[in-house]
Structure formats: C-alpha cells, structure tokens
Structure 1
Amino acid sequence: MLYIGVDLGTSAVKLLLMEADGSIKNIVSKEYPLSFPNPGWSEQKPEDWWNAVVEGIKELTDGFDKDQVAGISFGGQMHGLVILDSDDNVIRPAILWNDGRTTKETNYLNDVIGKDKLSEYTANIAFAGFTAPKILWVKENEPENFAKIAKIMLPKDYIAYKMTGVHSCDYSDASGMLLMDVKNKCWSKEMMEICSVKEEQLPKLFESYEITGSMTEAAAAELGLTTNCKIAAGAGDNAAAAVGTGTVGDGGCNISLGTSGTIFISSKDFGVDKFNALHSFAHADGNFHLMGCMLSAASCNKWWMDEIIGTKDYPAEQVPITDDKLGENNVYYLPYLMGERSPHNNPDARALFIGMSMDTTRADMTQAVLEGVAFAIRDSFEVARDLGIKIDETKICGGGAKSPLWRKIIANVLNIKVNIIESEEGPGLGGAMLAAVACGEYASVEEAANKIVKVIDSVNPDPAIAAKYDAKYKKFKEIYPTVKPLYDTLKA
C-alpha cells in the first residue's frame, strides 16, 4: 500500500508518497503566497493551501495506482488561527505562527491572568505566535468576525477537514494553541472561559496516529483518490519531523533548521520547565516532549542570501568558510528577524550584526548568520541542560540541515554528535509514517520509526573548535540583554 505525508509549510506544501516499507516513491512541492498586511503581521488564505494540496496530490500520484493509496496524514505549521463560520466557510485569512501583532493580548495573558495560572492550565505561558492570543486579538479588533466563529482550527486540520468533513485536531498541534490542558490531554475549561470560546467551537482531539475519517466522495473526486483512503490526525510540524527523524520514545533529540528552528526532546513523562522558556507539548507518538523554538532559522540565511547578497548559490557562499575559521569569527548576528520565542519570548526583538570592522569580509557575515542561529539554538539547549536533561547526540533535519558546514557548526556550538538520517523529509515522512501506523502497517509510532529511519552519517565535534565556540557563545549571550531596552525604543 501507499501512504501520503502532507507537510503544510509556511511557503509551500511538500507532499511525499511512501510505500509501506518506508521507501519514498515521489515528492512534489507547491508554493503559495504569504502576505504581510502590516509590519510584523503574517497571513495566508487557507483556500490557497487546499488548492496547492489538490494540485500537488494529483501530480504526486500520477503514474501510480491510486487505489493503493491507503492513508494520508500531516505535519503542519503550528499555531495558525483558522476560523470558520456556521457553513464552514473561511471567515478571514489565517493569522500565522510568525505573526507578531498580539503583544497586547500576550502581555494580558502573562501579566494579568498570570504565567503561573497559564502554566497550571496548559503547561505553557503565552507567546505572541500562539493561537489563544490571536483569538483575543480578533475578539478585540474584529468583533464582527469573532461573532461569526463556529469552528476554530489549525492550518493542517483545515486540509484534513476538506478531505473528511470532520473537524479534528491532534494533541501535539493542539498543545501550541494555549487552549489545551497538555498534562491531561483535554481542552482547558479555564482557557476557554478566558478566551470566550465554547468547546463546540473547538475540534475533536485525537492521537496523531488515529484515524479521524475517510475521504469524502467530493474530496476523492477532486483529488483523484478513493473513498477507501483513511485520514489520520497528523501532528504539528515539529512533532511530525521528530517522527520522521526517529525522535520518539524517551530521551531522543532532533534539531530542525527550517523557516523556524527548533530543538525537540522526546520524553515518556510529562514535564514542565519552571521558567517556561521551553514549550511542554504532547508528542505524536502518544507521549510528551519539550521544545525550544526560534522564529527565524534557515530563513535568516535565505534572507541574507536572497535579499542582501543577491544570490541563489548558497553553497558557493560557504566555500571560503574553512575549518580554521570556525570559532574565530569576530562578527556576531542575532537571528531575530520576526521577533523571538524561546527563550526570550519577545516579539519586538529584531536581528542585528555587531563586531564588523574594516577587514570584515562577506564570508565573515555569512558565517555570522549560520553561527547566530546555532547560538540561539544553544540558548534553548542550555535550558534543557539546566533541567538535568543529558543530551549527547541529536538528529537534524530541515532545509538548513543540507549544509555540511551548518551541521559542523551546530555540532561544535552544542558540543554533541549530530546524526544525519537517510531522508531529510522530516514532517512529510513523519506524516506518511503516521498514516501507515493508523492503517495498521505498524503496531506503534516507535516501531515504524525503528524500522524506517536510518542514520547514514554523523558529525562529531572537534574539541578545539568546540572550546572556541564555547567562549564565543558566552559573548553572544551577553548581546541580547544589552540591546533589549533598545527594542522598545525602536518599536516606538
């Protein structure tokens, strides 16, 4: 049988066709627009996602026996607010994970409701990108739209609804809404009351590997598939990527270098960082995880290359950055193009370069961008280490993980072994694996991961380079607190 993984990203949907044994038969990517109506805002039309999925699945399955497509599941961009009216029509464009308009609402939740109460209700505090602050923003700024809301959904779940007619959500993605009691895996009555939301406006909750429904006749006709195709709930993109990299069970670690960057630590036990610098979420394997998330990771390099240098030849720009340059750069970069989540929780933070001199080269600046992202990941890594979590190695995935230089920098900045897996299609592969588990090909997510995911190479830290980076990191972490007061001034 064949299984489809739908990786609904910020700039494109990537669709993956997988055989039951885990071999990838085809991959198709379809882009869609991203709009910025005001500074710091970020929106998309859910209809554009669906059109891209329809077009992409037709192309993905062209030349294959469509009757063999047994299941579809998802890895999706998290936190986005999709609101539907009583006829299931989209009320307004989705407000995305990297949208920074909710400073007032986030401060209200953290400072008036209180971080302690939020952590008690949901295991997390409010971040500007989370869904609950967006709901409060719509209530305050678009009351006519708020009054129309019949269903509140997340991005990937809108696609699942279009396939099944079922309003569903999985525990991992719902964890990032600030509406779910993560520990007890149910909607939080307190948070619903705070956000003026009724439970019937929220989707039904499922484990990521559970079937939510079958393909409707209308969707099957549109996609060219059959009504026998089962749809599994899927997961937030980071949890799906963790499945796709085999980061399941107890004590696994995965770093994702996508548009955003994450460090993901899987655990069989529920746990909360007392400072709430890391997110405490449910995992797609049925367990839990801690996650540090930075809003701009590989997107920093894309911005630097495309908009500033003006080149698409990323590898060529990294050629001059040889091993003897690692840990020797005097230029630092704060990677806060869209504000920052973990661990600073500051939507008003912005990127900066510091340390340039007359002999600074283009390569030094490029190196600083790669290192700045690695240092920011270490910020979250240090929080996990302070919790007593021992991490000796990690998997890595995402577009940035294709760079051998960036992998080497990550290994030395964190001073741990970085494992490269056979497939770098984290969320898409994870989605397909969840579909296979839902359809009974594997007894559990862990079994699927153990049989499908293969490590093909590793990068070990160099003690001398790691020591240099340790000294550089100590300087890096002094920059943000020093410039933090300026962000309020710049915003004003």
Structure 2
Amino acid sequence: MREALLSIDVGTASLRAALVNTKGKILAKNIQKLKLWQTSGIMEQSSDDIYGCLVNSIRKLIEQYHQPVSIKGIGIDATASQVLLNHDLEPLHLPGNPEANILGWMDHRSQPQSLIINKQFESGSGRNAPAKQIPEMCLSKMLWLKQEQPELWSQCGLILDLYDFITWKLTGVITRTPCSKVTCEPKEILKALNINNPELRRGELLSPCSPVPGGLSNASAEATGLPAGTTVATGMVDGLGGSLAALGPIHPEKDNSSLESRLSMVVGTSTIYVASSRSARTIEGVWGPMPSALEGFYHNIVGQSAAGALIEHLLTSHPSYAKALNESKKNHKSIYSYLNTVLKNMAGDTQKLSLLTYDIHLLPYFAGNRCPRMDMSLKGMMTGLSLDQSIDSLALTYLACIQAIALEARHNIERLTQNGYCFSELRPCGGLAKNTLFVQEHVNITGIRAKMPQEPDCMLLAGALLSSVACGTYASLEEAIQAMSQQKETLYPDTSLAAYCDKKYRIYLELYEDQKKYNRMMSGEFRNRKGLT
C-alpha cells in the first residue's frame, strides 16, 4: 500500500485536497467550490460549508486515486479569516446572512475601527502598541464586532482562525499556534480596547508542525473514511504555508543560496511577499516581524489585497471579455494564455511585448493599499483610456494591470531593502505563478530573477510539509523542505527594459501623489456631503 500525505488548501473561492508523496510529488487532487458572499467591503463564508466541502473533497480524492493508500498525516493551510462560534460552539451567524459565520480576510467593514486603533496608539511604540491596523487585521475586526454588533459580541463564545477551526473540526481539540491571528496580540492591547475576553481566545498553544493530541477524531474519521487517530498537524495561514513550499532546499553555508536572499512570492487572489531573517526587524508599512515555523527565523510580509481579483475585475468589466473568453475556449486555452498570445502577436518580431503599455498606466489601489502605505481609502487610477472596445484593448488593459501589480511589488520590495534585506531570487507560487507573463513582468520590473517551482501546484505542498513533520516522516521543517520543495528553470530580467521599467515605476509613484493632490482639492464641504472624511 502506497503511503501519502493529505494536504488541504482552503482558498477564497475553493478548497483543494491533494495526496502528496514524501518527495513532494502530487499524486492526485480534488477541488470543491466554496460558498462566498462578497460585495463592496464585505466578505463572508460558512464554516459548515467549508467543513462539508472538506469531507466531500477527501472522499472523492481517495475514490479517484484508484489505488490503496495509507494517509500518514493531514496538514491544513487556509486564508486569514476568522470563524465565529456561539457558547455552544455552533456557528454564530452574521447579521442579514443566516448561513455565514466567517469574517473573510478581505472584509473591510472594520475600516473605522482600524482608524480608531491607530489614533489611540499613534504615540505608542514597542511592545505596548499594536502594528498599524488595516481592516483586514483581526484586531480591527474584533473591535468592529464589539462596537457595531454588541449583541453578536455577547453571544460569541469562541473566535478561531480558519485553519485552527479546521484542525478543531478534524480532531475535537481547540489549538492555537504563535502565528494564530486571534491570539497574537498582547493582553494589555486588548484591555485598552475593552475587548479582552480570554474565553474567545482559548485553546492549547502548540508550535507549528505539531501533531494535535489524539489525531483524527472518531466523528471525522467516520465522515471522511480515514482511520481514527490519523496524525493532524497544526494549521497555518495559506500565504505562509505557500511561502515555505516555494523556498527550496536551504543551505545556510552558501551565501548565494541562503534563506535570507530569497523572497517568497505567493500570488493568487491577493499577493504576499515573505522575507526571512535571523533578526526580528520592525519596519514601518510592513507586517511583522512574526516568528517563523523555521527555527531561529522571523518573517516580514508585504503585499496587495487584490491581484488576481483585480485582473479578473478589469477583464470581466471590459466590453470584449465575452468574445475573448469564447475565443480562448475555442483554442482550448485559459483566458490568460489566450491574452498572452494576443499580446505576442501585437508585439510581433520587432517590439518587446512589455513596451505595448508605453502610454497606459495603472495605479492598482482598487481595494486600497495594504503595504507599504497601509491606507485602505486609496482608489485605483488609469490613464490612456480610449473608445477602443477590441480584444487588443482588453489585452493591453490586462498587461497594464499585471505591470501595475509588479510595480506595487517593487515598491514593497524597496521598503524591505531599505531596511537591511538583500534579495537575489524571487520564489513564486500560487495560481498566478503559473502565468509566465505575470512572473516575467515581476522579474523585469523588480530586476530580480525568479526560480520557478518544479511542482506547478506547489501551494498544495504546504499542508504536506506540515504533516510530514507532525507524523515523523521528517525530523524538522528544514529537512522536509529539503526533500519536498524543488525548483526547475530560472527566469531572468530583460536588462534592455530597465530604463522603461524605471519610468513606469516613476509614473506609478506619481499617480499616488496625483490622487492625494486631487483629494486635497476636493476636501471640505464636497467630501463631507458624501459622508467622507
């Protein structure tokens, strides 16, 4: 009987389960669509739906594999969303939605609370002040719950990060790790905000990659068809899990291959770029430092709230989207592969593809700016618009958006390098990492080469890495990464585009200054009439 690890990846719109061997090869995978309620500023999900999809996915995965398999361990990564449960540990549903009890990672209703927290602690520093808040952070969401939904707050018996919720459902044991968002803020901060309720944050504190006591419960064993007692590892937020899966073998003795010189690039619905260091560095406009699952390291994180989501928004709102989608289906391509081909044809043999956007510029702040500006009130901007409704126009918008996301990454990377980091390689993973054009534009605009993962779906290796340590297949996470995270080709910057990319970056920065100027011009009575500040 073949041995395998079961990796669970819970994203924004789908849950994926995979059987992975101990060398990092995906043997089989299954995808389940998740319920998602999303409007402007709101993102809600259902924990019952997610657990139901998890059970279905595991059963279908084992069924479709067609070979006897022994699951050695189960590992979970999930979005940085929070699950609300009542005092009976049943779903506590959000106002107006009888199904949803999860505040999704991109829920921005706590924008006023994030401003309140920032103002209250603006003169604070060090351990007695929280990091600058945006509404995607758990602290802001908890204060929103207390201030805006006091009845819901009083009914709340437990708040779990989504990955901790899943391990609890699988094992019956409530656990947290040092990276669990609900529990990472000091008590003195919670007391100052009047939201210090220890019951909401209870759970056994375990280190990353630890086996949850007892393993798979009898109830979950019966539901999934797996043996009771199967090892279940503590969970992790999906971005950090993916960053570990993309790192590749770690050789501290070789300067050109050290962990600190690699920047993990986790690109999907949103993006995060994860930097690692031996020292804990506090950097303005950056998330961190936070302890790493890798012993002796800390992470600093930057990124954008909307990347894949922004590309999809711009494509689907274009007049030629339906026509382009039909053409891509005729050619058995994804819409992205089809548009990549359109752009290649537009550039021809005499022009570099990247130059097609010389007069089209985009500021990608459609969902605000997560890092380094940490200002969610900012808006998107675009110049170079025309009446052109052709597929060529759609392709140019697509390319301008990709470049804008890469320019925002350059801005974030610049903030990191100004504070002691020095990167020689990008390590991409996630859905957008499968798009070579997307990665190549990052490489050209940042000037940093990218080492591509051997496993295209390397996000699905995250849970396998965690479970391989928990079940004892590998003695440490470093050993697991050495065996399971492998790379293939390297993408290098096109140095002939350096001057062009520098100019695009300058325009990107000036678009922000222009927006601030326009906001100042329209300040006062006009903005106040719309309830704006």
- TM-score (structure 1 length as normaliser): 0.91
Distance 1:405 1:6 in 2: 28
Matched, 1:423 2:432: no
Which residue number in structure 2 is paired with residue 16 of structure 1? 18
Q: How does 1:298-447 map to 2 (within 5 A)?
A: 298-308=308-318, 309-310=321-322, 311=325, 313-322=335-344, 324-327=352-355, 329=357, 330-357=359-386, 361-447=393-479
Distance 1:11 1:453 in 2: 25
Which residue number in structure 2 is paired with residue 209 of structure 1? 209
Which residue number in structure 2 is paired with residue 474 of structure 1? 506
Distance 1:107 1:325 in 2: 42
Pair 366,65 (structure 1): closer, same or farther in 2 beyond 3 Å: closer
Which residue number in structure 2 is paired with residue 34 of structure 1? 36
Do 2:261 and 2:425's aligned partners in 1 also have CA atoms closer than 8 Å?
Answer: no
Q: Which runs of 5+ in 2 are unaligned?
A: 94-100, 251-258, 326-333, 345-350
Distance 2:485 2:424 in 1: 19
Do 1:277 and 1:342's aligned partners in 2 also have CA atoms closer than 8 Å?
Answer: yes
Do 1:422 and 1:454's aligned partners in 2 also have CA atoms closer than 8 Å?
Answer: yes
Aligned-residue Cα RMSD (Å) equals: 2.2
**Mean alpha-carbon deviation: is it higher for 467-476 or for 200-209?**
200-209
Q: Which has the larger radius of gyration?
A: 2
For residue 64 of structure 1, report the CA deviation from its aligned partner.
5.9
For residue 262 of structure 1, report the CA deviation from its aligned partner.
1.2
Aligned length: 479
Distance 2:469 2:123 in 1: 37
**What is the letter of the counterpart of residue 115 of structure 2?**
N
Distance 1:115 1:28 in 2: 50
Which residue number in structure 2 is paired with residue 50 of structure 1? 51
Which residue number in structure 2 is paired with residue 183 of structure 1? none
Distance 1:389 1:447 in 2: 25
Do 1:340 and 1:346's aligned partners in 2 also have CA atoms closer than 8 Å?
Answer: yes
Pair 238,51 (structure 1): closer, same or farther in 2 beyond 3 Å: same
Matched residue of 2:109: which SS?
Answer: coil
Which residue number in structure 1 is paired with residue 190 of structure 2? 192
Distance 2:458 2:131 in 1: 25
For residue 486 of structure 1, report the CA deviation from its aligned partner.
5.3
Distance 1:355 1:67 in 2: 56
Do 1:242 and 1:426's aligned partners in 2 also have CA atoms closer than 8 Å?
Answer: no
Pair 425,207 (structure 1): closer, same or farther in 2 beyond 3 Å: farther
For residue 81 of structure 1, report the CA deviation from its aligned partner.
2.2
Matched, 1:132 2:139: yes
Q: Which runs of 5+ in 1 are unaligned?
A: 181-186
Do 1:240 and 1:428's aligned partners in 2 also have CA atoms closer than 8 Å?
Answer: no
For residue 66 of structure 1, report the CA deviation from its aligned partner.
7.1
Do 1:333 and 1:369's aligned partners in 2 also have CA atoms closer than 8 Å?
Answer: yes
Pair 369,276 (structure 1): closer, same or farther in 2 beyond 3 Å: closer
Distance 1:4 1:317 in 2: 35
Pair 122,253 (structure 1): closer, same or farther in 2 beyond 3 Å: farther
- TM-score (structure 2 length as normaliser): 0.85
Q: 2:119 aligns with which of 103, 111, 114?
A: 111
For residue 357 of structure 1, report the CA deviation from its aligned partner.
4.7
For residue 481 of structure 1, report the CA deviation from its aligned partner.
2.8
Which residue number in structure 2 is paired with residue 184 of structure 1? none
Q: Percent identical across equivalent pairs?
A: 22
Matched residue of 1:483: which SS?
Answer: helix
**Mean alpha-carbon deviation: is it higher for 317-326 or for 428-437?**
317-326
Do 1:44 and 1:96's aligned partners in 2 also have CA atoms closer than 8 Å?
Answer: yes
For residue 375 of structure 1, report the CA deviation from its aligned partner.
0.8
Distance 2:233 2:17 in 1: 15
Q: 2:289 aligns with which of 280, 284, 302?
A: 280
Distance 2:531 2:288 in 1: 27
Matched residue of 1:320: which SS?
Answer: helix
For residue 242 of structure 1, report the CA deviation from its aligned partner.
1.2
Matched residue of 2:343: which SS?
Answer: coil
Distance 1:7 1:191 in 2: 32
Distance 1:265 1:109 in 2: 26
